[in-house]
């Protein structure tokens, strides 16, 4: 074979692109990277939701203090948090990070704000554990 023919064959081999096996290896590597990132990020997402709920509860507590300053009392349980919007101490009622309404209880003049967390029902453990202003006041997380 002449040198020109050999160089033409080399050029054709170099222009072929990626083989199916090379593409499968790249896709496998990308899948492994995505799985590793998912394992690291998902627990952080739940922690961020719980932190956001805690911050919302603190903001609602501030609005309750302002309401108390204006009215001389906290809203009763039946009026709920809507009283804060009516008194213009809150622009609108936030929903918890899971899309549920915050629960307001006022028993004995000590208001409590609760998020029922991921499961949306009272009680629970882990990501389903309730987040309450009473827990925050007691130093629980």
Residue 12 has a pLDDT of 64
pLDDT band at 141 (very low <50, low <70, confident <90, very high): low
User: Of 89, 95, 100, whose CA–CA distance to 124 is shortest?
Assistant: 100
DSSP string, 64-76: HHHHHHHHSSPPP
- Quote the pTM value: 0.72
| Composition of the chain by helix, strand, coil, percent to 5 | 55, 10, 35
Report how far residue 23's alpha carbon sits from residue 34's, in angstroms, rounded to the nearest whole number: 17
For each of the domains in the chain, give its residue range(s) and CATH number, in order of start. Answer: 43-139 (3.30.700.10)
Helices (H) and strands (E) in the chain, counts: 4, 3
102-128 pLDDT, tens digit each? 999 998 888 999 999 999 999 889 889
Task: Give 89's DSSP letter.
Answer: S
Residue 2 has a pLDDT of 60
35-94 pLDDT, tens digit each? 999 888 888 998 999 999 999 999 999 999 999 999 999 999 999 999 999 999 999 999
pLDDT at 14 over 90: no
């Amino acid at each position: 074979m002449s040198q020109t023919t050999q160089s033409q064959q080399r050029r054709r081999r170099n222009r072929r692109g990626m083989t199916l096996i090379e593409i499968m290896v790249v896709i496998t590597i990308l899948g492994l990277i995505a799985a590793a990132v998912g394992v690291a990020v998902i627990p952080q997402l739940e922690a961020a939701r719980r932190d956001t709920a805690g911050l919302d509860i603190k903001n609602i507590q501030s609005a309750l203090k302002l309401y108390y300053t204006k009215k001389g009392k906290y809203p009763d349980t039946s009026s709920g948090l809507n009283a804060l919007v009516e008194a213009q101490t809150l622009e609108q009622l936030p929903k918890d990070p899971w899309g549920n309404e915050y629960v307001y209880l006022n028993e004995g003049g000590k208001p409590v704000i609760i998020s029922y967390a991921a499961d949306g029902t009272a009680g629970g453990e882990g990501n389903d554990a309730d987040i309450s202003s009473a827990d925050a006041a007691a130093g629980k997380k």
